[in-house]
């Protein structure tokens, strides 16, 4: 699918990899972006940077059906179509099964992670796909593309990442059945499992911590550049034969237990 002049919904798009992808798609590919995020200030700043003619921000709770439906309605009213959906909103919930004094972790902490990281992905994907089905098929075959953001933790979750790793593994599990179902209406579904990227939050860490992280990298021995993630999203969108696939974007790094 060509990206120029297409409308891209990006959840978690007000910061980090989501914001980098939004900027890349607008400035390099000529797309329009709808940023769905809870952070009102960051979302408004993103629109100011990208230009109101190219970007829309809707404050959205992806775990709420009503909030996502309202966001999708706002995107349709503004841009008239949704062609690409990138689900990056997530919470990095870290806690152990057994806490202090060997007490079991509250189920609510696990449910909080799955509400955003699993339910939120399904929620946005399904509502965007409903709109994609109404698009005119490009080159007679494609109406839309969905990219769900998983994580290297889906494969090698660290101690304390039971909830996070499970939720990110679930995204990979969605790939095939969703691609098989939505393929009938010309919508592809893929996932990216990113490793460690040099986001603003990571860049602010102590130099010794950064050096320790780099030691876990194989080749290249550095943290990922956020533009490399954005470029991977563009590749998936533009290559019509990539479907039901999960791309590990991590420089061959494998997370240690701690």
- Which active-site residues does the annotation give? 164
Q: What are phi and psi of 67, to 5 degrees?
A: -65, -45
Question: Using alpha carbons only, what angle is made at residue 122 by residues 168 and 143, rounded to the nearest 5 degrees?
Answer: 115
Which DSSP category does 203 fall into? H
Token digits for 130? Answer: 């409903």
Contact 220/67 with Cβ under 8 angstroms? no
Cis peptide preceding 116, ω within 30 of 0: no
Token digits for 75? Answer: 């995107």
Q: Where would I find the beta strands (DSSP E) of the chain?
A: 7-11, 32-37, 55-59, 84-87, 144-149, 187-194, 246-249
The size of the chain, in residues, is 258
188 forms bridges with which residues in the sheet? 145
Pairing of strands 84-87, 55-59: unpaired
Residue 87 to residue 11: CA distance in whole angstroms: 5
Q: Is 240 helix (H, G, I), strand (E, B) or coil?
A: coil
Residues 6+ apart with CB under 8 A from 77: none
> From the DSSP assignment, how many helices (H) and strands (E) are in the chain?
9, 7
Token digits for 179? Answer: 């691609």
């Amino acid at each position: 699918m060509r990206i120029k002049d297409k409308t891209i919904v990006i959840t978690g798009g007000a910061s980090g990899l989501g914001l980098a992808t939004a900027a890349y798609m607008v400035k390099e590919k000529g797309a329009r972006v709808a940023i769905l995020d809870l952070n009102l200030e960051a979302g408004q700043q993103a629109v100011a940077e990208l230009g109101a003619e190219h970007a829309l921000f809707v404050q959205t709770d992806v775990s709420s059906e009503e909030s996502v439906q309202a966001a999708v309605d706002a995107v349709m009213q503004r841009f008239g179509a949704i062609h690409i959906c990138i689900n990056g909103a997530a919470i990095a919930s870290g806690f152990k099964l057994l806490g202090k004094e060997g007490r079991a972790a509250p189920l609510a902490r696990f449910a909080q992670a799955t509400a955003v990281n699993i339910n939120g992905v399904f929620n946005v994907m399904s509502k965007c796909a409903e709109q994609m089905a109404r698009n005119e098929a490009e080159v007679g075959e494609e109406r839309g593309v969905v990219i769900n953001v998983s994580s290297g933790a889906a494969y090698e979750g660290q101690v304390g990442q039971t909830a996070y790793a499970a939720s990110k593994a679930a995204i990979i599990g969605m790939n095939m059945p969703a691609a098989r179902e939505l393929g009938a209406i010309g919508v592809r579904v893929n996932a990216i499992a990113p490793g460690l990227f040099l986001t603003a939050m990571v860049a602010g860490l102590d130099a010794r911590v950064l050096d320790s992280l780099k030691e876990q990298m194989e080749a290249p021995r550095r943290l990922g550049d956020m533009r490399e993630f954005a470029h991977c999203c563009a590749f998936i969108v533009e290559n019509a034969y990539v479907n039901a696939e999960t791309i590990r974007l991590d420089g061959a790094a494998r997370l240690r237990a701690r």
